[in-house]
Structure formats: C-alpha cells, structure tokens
A and B are shown apart, each in its own frame.
Chain A
Amino acid sequence: MTARIASRILLLVALVVFGRARADSLAPLTLDRVALDNGGTITVSGQAPPASRVFLEVWSEKAVTASFFDARRNDKGEIPYKLYLTRQLPAHYRIYLSRAGQSTLDDYARKGSGWAYSQALKDTGADAAFAVPAARPIATYQATLMASIAGSRGDLLPTLDSKEARRRAMQIVKARFRSVSKLLSATIEERPDGSFTARVTIPAGAAPGRYSVVAVAVTGQGVVKSPEATLENRIAFPLLYLSNAGTSLNLFTPFLLALLVSIFGVLMGAGGGFILNPLLVSLWPLPHTIVAGTVMPTVLFSQGSGIYNYSRIKFISWKLGVTMGLAMLAGGFIGPKLTELITLDQFKFVFGWILVVLAGLMLWQTTPAYLQKNKKEQAILKEFKRRAEQEAAARRDAAGAAAPALESEGGPR
C-alpha cells in the first residue's frame, strides 16, 4: 500500500521534472556514432525552435592544467602581473557555429596569434555557448618581483566573481589552444524548421575518454540548451595519453627522438636538452611548461652518470664544481617558476635566439683559428685524461678488481 503511494508520488515528481525539462530545454541530440578510435568525425543532429541561432559546445572529460599571465597594461595604465590558473580545463574544447560564420572565422584566422577569443565569441554570437571553462575553478595569484625571486607564484587572491571568471576563462582557453581553428568551427547546417545537423570532429591525438556535446539555441526569448549527449574516444597501444600535456601520441616517436638527440648530445659533449625542447614543442601540440619540466629530469640521469665517470678518474674539481653549482642551484630554483609566465610563442621566440647564439658558438669552435689555438689544449686534455685513466686502472688492479673499460664522455669541446 505505502509502496504504491510512494511509486505514484515518484511518478508525479518525475512527470513534473520531465515536463519542466521539456519546457526550457531542447530535444536530446542524436549522434550517428558514439565510439571513436583516436578521433574522427561524427554527425550531430537536433531540433531547435525555428529562427533560432544554434551552437554546439564540445568538451572532453579529461582535463589539464592551464594558465594565463596578465602582464598587459590595463585601462588604468597599470600592469596587473596576475597569474590565472585552473587545473580543470578540458583537454579538448571547441564551440561549433553556423556555416554562415565561416567568413568571420577566416578573418580572425588571418589576424595570426594576436586574435582575441572573447571578441571572436562575441562577433559570432558563440559566447552564448561558452559555459564549461567559465564554471571551472580558477586560482588567481598576484605575482611580484620579490615573490618571483623567492620562487613563489605570489599571494593567492580571493575567488573571482562569475563575470570576471568568465572573462579570465576565455583568456586561459586562448592561451592553451591558441588557434582559431582549434577553438571554433563553422559546420552547423540550420534549416528553416529549426532542425540542424553538424559535423563534429575530435582530432587524432586528442585525449581519450568521454566527450560531451550540448546544443545551445539562442531565440528571441533567451538561451535554451539541450541535454548532454556523450561519446567515447578510445586510443590503443602504441598510442599513449600524456595526462598532464593533454595529448596522445605514438610512444615510439618521442622515444626515437630522445634517443637520436641524446646520442648527438653525447657526441657534442653536452646534454641534448637544448635540442630536445624546441623539437618537442614544434612537432606536437605540447605545452612548453610540460616539455621543459619533463626534459630536465630526463637528462638528469645522463649527467649523473657523466659525473660518476669523471669522478672515477678524479677528473672533477669538486671545489670549483660545487661552488658554481650552488650558484646554479639558486638559479634553478627561480627559473622553472618563470616558465608559466610566458606564452608558447614567447618561449619559441626566445629559444630561437638562444639557438642562434649556440649555433654561432659551435661554428666558432670549428674555425681554423680556434682549432689552432685549441690544439695544444686538446693535447693536454687527452694526456691528462690518459694519465687519469691509467691511475684509476692501477688503483682498481691494486684492489684486485677487474677494471672495466671506461666510458669516455663524448668528444672534447
């Protein structure tokens, strides 16, 4: 008896909720496919009120950390130096709009890296669909010179209000995805009766997992949304998802790249970090922060083994190395904090000039004048090294241990 009443109440509640949902939301979307293999294109169709403008918001469940550093002079003539950071930005995010918007997108694409995402959203009306990143928590830090020297992000400021959060979320999204084509796509075909179809593309190399699609219709009365439709993107070995970088890639390519560059580094008597970094940011859509932060620990161990090899033959001045090393320890404390304060474009620009200087240094070391001057030095270096190795071998023989061949560390510089 009670059970029957309870079920009737439940039914009533369900009817009310369902009925209300119908009144202020669009019909559920239809997806022609709900499972993808390393990306692909699906067709989404739905129904909106006639004469409305339709947008689709598509995002991945997988999220990444992204940030935007505001160092531009504002209206008051001050430079804010604020860092906006979210740990929950979707790894893939794109808004689809009507085909009619293509020419506007082309105009924005021609502006190059200086295009304004917020302005593009406004011009196309797509800001009505911009919702998911704005709802994710954003931390704001007040960066100062002193904080930077102390190696901290600065003071954590109070939570942003929703309007400000929305504005900053757009800047973070732009800083992360950068190009017009990655963020906006004009593929929706709208028909006079309000029905629409759109081609939604999840690119190869995008994050695996669940993706959500929501249609947003802007009518004379306001904004109506459809329930969330979901699809699943799968990736299989040898593709791996880099969870912090938000990209999947074939594991063999970075392996081979790291192998070749590190061998070349050994031949030059240097680590390979300064070649590996720019290659990684150029070849894949990897954030420069992740690349810099992952390459450093990678070369750490090769440097360690190099030091071990030199110390075995007593070829290191510990006094000099440690003294200068302490100065580098202080520098290494500050540098990584600065990486997130620059954009990928600035990273590439500065790195470009670093490489020009390095190429100059290396060419200079191969000029006949330098080689002539260096010849005597090289001979001394070889002689010292030979003596050191002999002595080390003698010590090992005396200790009664077999003397393994020494791995000589690269060519002389």
Chain B
Amino acid sequence: MGIHRGHQARPVEWLAEKFIFLVSLSAILMVLLIFLFVAREALPVFVGQTNTALVQKPIPTVELDKHSPAELQAYLELTPEQFKQMSRETLKALMDVKVEAQDDIPEQFRNDPDARINTTEWPYLLKAHRWTDYAKPEYIWQPVGEVKKFNIIPLVVGTLKTTLIGLLFAVPLAVGAAIYVSQLARPRVREILKPTIELLSGIPSVVVGFFALLVMATVLQTIFHYQTRLNAFVAGIALGFAVIPVIFSIAEDALTSVPRAYTQGALALGASRWQTAWQIVLPAALPGVFAAAVLGFGRAIGETMIVLMVCSASVMSWSIFDSTRSITTTIAAEMAEAVNGGPHYRILFMLGALLFAATFISNMIGDFVIHRFKQKLEGKR
C-alpha cells in the first residue's frame, strides 16, 4: 500500500507541525503589529485630523445638522470610536463647551496670527515659519505654551548630527579592530580579543550614558575646550561606544568568511600580511563591511538613553558643540507629559513611525547586501 504520509497516518505529528509553524509566524505578526499600532496612533496627523489652532471659527450649536460627521469629529478633536459612542446630547454639550472656550481665550491671542494656525499641518512641521515676535523664519520645536510649535527639522538635524559623529568615531575603530582580530592577530590572541570586544555590547546603554555624563563630558571638555559641557559631540562619541560592538562583529564575520584560498594565494605570491589584508581580504569583504556600517547606523539612530542623558535642549544648530536633541530623546522625554490622544501625543507617535521606517530601510539594505555578499562568496568557492 506504500507509506502513509500526512495527517492520516500520524495525527499528532501533523498537529505538532502545524502548531510549530503557526507559532513561528509570530515574528512576522509582531513586525506587522508594531507598524500597525505605531501608525494607528499617528494616523490623525497624516490625514489632518489634529488641530492646535487656539482661535477657531466656532460652529454654533444649532448648526449641528448642517455639518458632516467627519467635520464635527475633527472639530471636536474626537477619535472615530469616541464620536460613534456619543449621543446627540453629548455632542451638543461638547459644542457648547467649545464655543465657550473660544470666549475664554486671553486677549493677547485674539489678534495674534499665530493663534489661528494649526501647527500640526505639514508646512509648519517641515518648513521654517516666521512666528510673531521673531525677526526671521525659524525652525522651532516647542511643544509647550499656548502656541505649540512642532517643527521636526531641529530633531532630524540633531539625530543626524549625533549619529554621524558616532559613526565617524566608531566605523574606523571597529573596522580596524576587525581587520586586526580576523587577519593579523595570532589565533590565541584572537580567542581572547573577540569575546572581550563583544562584551562591550553587554553594557546597558543607560550605563554608557551615565559614564558619558559623569566622566567623558569632563575629560573631553578639558581636551577640546568648548563652551557647553554637554553637547552633540559628547553624545556622538558615547553613541560610538554603543555601536562599536555591532559594527565590529558584523565586519569581523564578513572578513573571516573570505575564502582562505584568497589569503593563501596572496601570501604565496609574496605579499605581506598587511598587504594581503588591505588589498585582498578587505576589498573582497567590502560589501559586508559596508553592511556593518549601515546596520551600525540603524542602531545609532535608534539609541535613546545615551543622548537623553547627555543632551536635552532642542536648539536648531549645525554646530557639533551645541546641545542637541534627537528624535528618540524627544519621544522619551515628552511622552509622559503629552495628553493621551492629543496632538502632541500624535506627533510623537509620528516621529516614532518615522524612526521605524528609517531603521526598517537601513536594516533591509544591510541584510540585502550581506545576503548577496555571502551568496557571491559561496558561488565563487
């Protein structure tokens, strides 16, 4: 009759296999859920349902039926679910409150053009705007006060500043160490060095931040003599510490996976160990080293606690010796004071979605490059 296969012959095996398969889908599910729920909380910003304008044209309560539900929902700053649950009476009461609130606005804002602006619209999020009392258009992130300013450019610049300093510091060191450990060191030394450097990743980022705050900031200031003790430079170097182990282990892995025949061939032709490492092994492993830097970038851009402890002020500045504030830091520092469901809360989630997208893309690039690199090496072997 032949061998029975599938669930007819062994129902328990069949069930177990299906169960194991279903559980293994959880990783995919989690990525989807993260994307879905971070985007869900940020959605009102994307579709223009948040409004921070202080002075709004009030809708008289009697005109309740003249407006579409979508308009009313945006006007009352409600979520669709909240809106659905409300009875007609509650809506009317809310509209009364809204009209009264307009009467309570302080005199000084009545004629202030800033108070009529919905600061969560894209032009105000991305472009410089000349606010009242300012001499020229400026990029300002200032989520407190009567007129809340949500320009995200200072945060993006702050993030890029610390990340680039961190990478400029970490990539040469980590790649240099990877070359040394994988190509030049004696095997016995390598056995000790590799796990030691990887130990660095075992230090929690809050401890690196603490060390940067208490020790490094002072040391670096005495060396470079700059004004602000805590600045983007200190944060960047500390970030570098955090990404060194990431870049090191990926680059070391790439360098080690270059076929030994390459090295032996070069050495046999009379090249020195350094020439072999620099001219043969490194070019062959370059995609892997590049991927290491990209993945290090993803790690640095998402690091929170280090920058949070070392820097705080959100000033728009390209100087590396000014205090700075990154996207992650802003989310961490301000989420507690943001009203659940309010415009500030939505914008912070939008920043999170932005960050998720940025790291998602850099991870995809890094993984793709490594995958191609490994395939190429295997093909040549």
Decide if A and B are genuine partners.
no
Interface residues of A, Cβ cutoff 8 Å to B: none
Q: Interface of B with A (CB < 8 Å)?
A: none
